[in-house]
Chains A and B, each alone.
Chain A
Amino acid sequence: MNGSPPIAGGSFRTAWRRLRRNPAAIGSAIVLFLILFACFPGAPLWVSHACHHGPDDQNIQGTVTENGHKVPVVANDGTPIGPGLRACYLLGADANGRDLFVRLLYGGRVSLEVGITSAVLCVLVALLLGILSAYAGGMTDSVISRFLDLIWSFPVYLLAVALATAFAVNGISIGPLHVASTSLAIPIVVISIVYIPYVARPIRGQVLTLRRMEFIEAAIASGYRPTRIMAVELLPNVASMALVFLTLIVATNILTEAALSFLGVGVPLLTPSWGNIIEQGYQTIVTAPWLTVAPGLAIMLTVVSLNVLGDALRDAFDPHARIRIRG
């Protein structure tokens, strides 16, 4: 056994101290804050103050004034205007005359919503399954572990594609609950399912170690109910691990959303998300490469920041932890 259990409050305080001294952590947190700010309060502010086009507003006949000249948003040959320093069409337009920058801000909302919600869902289910299976042991453990093995055995993208295709036709119906096939809930559920084992397995391992420690035996001997032991004694001790995973899973999920949307089974086509914008932009990459390049860079910046932050969090909590998610 490796000594006394980590005390939750203490370890969080130590971690915070280490984190504050890590320039990479501070830097990535600032970048993430700026991205979140730009997408959520920033997007409507930009539309109402700088440029008055919404994300879906077309403007094929329109013009912008540049150096005193009137330049069409979409040229006669169908080539849209490229990036340039102006309030409207900062990053250029697409073939329908829609403002790419505005679409990126609104698309970021969707991508971040899908990424964050599915990560929270995934980590919550993984915590539940991991703690329950390690604490209960026996039959419960076998069933849960085999279920996790099964998901684990699928290639991530194929399982996601299979589930998304199955749900995309008529939506999901569970009893009275019905989710329409155009709902964002479908990519969110699909993406959260495929990564559950990557989080639940390490949590189960951690709880198996904790279980044999004296404070848990003491709690059992004191006659506490299992639910109380799991929620009050075990949960705080895997919370730091869950937090690290949450950060890294948000990053992975943003990439998965983009991949699924690129394959046409992610976010519904008419909703702009970073993945959908790439998918549509790629069709004209030769004449308007910015439509593919810019959303990809937005994804990279966000995902790199999340990975750096997740790495820093892991180092702050436990430098020896081996935490990894396979894409």
Chain B
Amino acid sequence: MVRAVVGRILGLIAVLVAISVAVFVIFNVIPGGDPALRLAGRHPTQENIRQIRHDWGFDQPLYVQYADTMERLFIKHDLISYQDQTPVLPAIERGIPRTLSLAIGAAVIWLFFGILIGVLSGVYQGRWLDRVLTVLALAGVSIPIFWLGAVSLYLFTFKYHGSPLFAWIPAGGYVPLTQDPVGWATHLILPWLTLAIVSIGFYARVVRNSMLETKHQDYIRTARAKGLSPARVLTRHTLRTCLIPVITLFGLDFGAAVGGTVILIEPIFGLEGVGQYAQESVAHLDLPPLMALTLYGAFFVVIFNTLADLAYLWLDPRSRTA
């Protein structure tokens, strides 16, 4: 187990280094986006541009620029945006609690309902609940997520805002949890549901299918033969095994949500988290923040993949020798 953990962590570091190089290469193949021209403002002289190129190190070879960027990003923490020359890292730091509030809340909702519905439809296999669930699961993964956010924001905070049922939902924005927990939750309820709905149906189906597979295993029959009550067999034996695939999936999906999907949700609800920062940087073709954010996103994906791997090793002893 220790060897496996050390191996994964070394692999993780290697992947992160490779990603940082890849990101740097992607952003430096941009031929027309000469950052010096952008930084020089309007009507620059040749002298200005040369000076900026020298000051910012654009005249250095690429590997020096790479090392310099990494140093600014990880050691000196003073990477600066081309667009408005504001520091990048404080902007990301400011966004992280917002983005995590969104992603963690949504994850709680999708895990809870996904597992609940999955277990129910596994128990009632073939009945109407099971059918309805299959349809909902497919519909869920087929919705453009930003569209769902936009339409629900329109419906609940504009069209039907007069109805007392929805009057308490604010039209976007963010309130910190430490300042006002209730405001925090009401501001996030629509973004949470938007992000969760896409995954609930999918998780429910995974749990259902894995329950159907586990149902007929020998050890379940043994547990039943020993005279355990059906509820106990379900919670102690069936569920324990069924949740293993969910953990692996959750590692992938949570990383992908924090590292990527939020770019489609935050701008709609004005959450001003990391995703919205990424969306604004795209709009301005602002490379330093995009580079930092892509690394940040990949970091989350890789970390959660590794955590899921390790959880899997821990939960399923058979996988350790494989």
Contact = CB atoms under 8 A, between A and B. Distances in A.
A326 B253 contact: yes
Q: How large is the interface on A (under 10, 10 to 19, 20 to 34, 35 or more residues)?
A: 35 or more
Contact of A278 (B18, B147, B290): B147
Contacts of B294: 154, 158-159, 162
A299 B143 CA distance: 8
Contacts of A161: 263, 278, 282, 290
Nearest to A252: B141
Interface string A248-269: 0001000100110011110000
Residue among B15, B138, B198 with max Cβ neighbours from chain A (10 Å): B138
A94 interface: no
Q: How large is the interface on B (under 10, 10 to 19, 20 to 34, 35 or more residues)?
A: 35 or more
Contacts of B256: 155-156, 326-327
Contact of A308 (B138, B151, B255): B138
A16 to B, nearest CB: 22
Could you tell me the dominant secondary structure of chain B's interface residues?
A: helix
B27 interface: yes
Nearest to A295: B147
A258 B297 contact: no
A155 B283 CA distance: 19
A251 B27 CA distance: 29
Contact of A162 (B143, B290, B302): B290
A157 B139 contact: no
Interface in B271-322: 278-279, 282-283, 285, 290, 293-294, 297-298, 300-302, 305
B144 A258 contact: yes
A262 B141 CA distance: 18
A125 to B, nearest CB: 18
B261 A155 contact: yes
Contact of A327 (B150, B198, B259, B290): B198
Nearest to B28: A166
Given A158-B259, A292-B147, A263 B19 contact: no
Interface stretch (B30-38, B43-51, B57-65, B109-117): B30-38
A41 to B, nearest CB: 25
A263 B264 contact: yes
B22 interface: yes
Contacts of A165: 30, 282, 285, 290
A2 interface: no
A296 interface: yes
B30 A327 contact: no
A155 B259 contact: yes
Contacts of A153: 15, 19, 298, 301-302, 305
A150 B17 CA distance: 10
Contacts of A7: none
B266 to A, nearest CB: 12
Nearest to B263: A157
Contact of A292 (B31, B154, B198): B154
Interface of B: 15, 18-19, 22-23, 26-27, 29-33, 138-139, 141-148, 150-151, 154, 158-159, 198, 252-253, 255-256, 259-261, 263-264, 278-279, 282-283, 285, 290, 293-294, 297-298, 300-302, 305
16 contacts: A153-B19, A153-B305, A155-B301, A158-B293, A158-B297, A162-B26, A162-B27, A165-B285, A166-B26, A169-B31, A170-B30, A259-B144, A293-B151, A300-B142, A300-B144, A327-B261
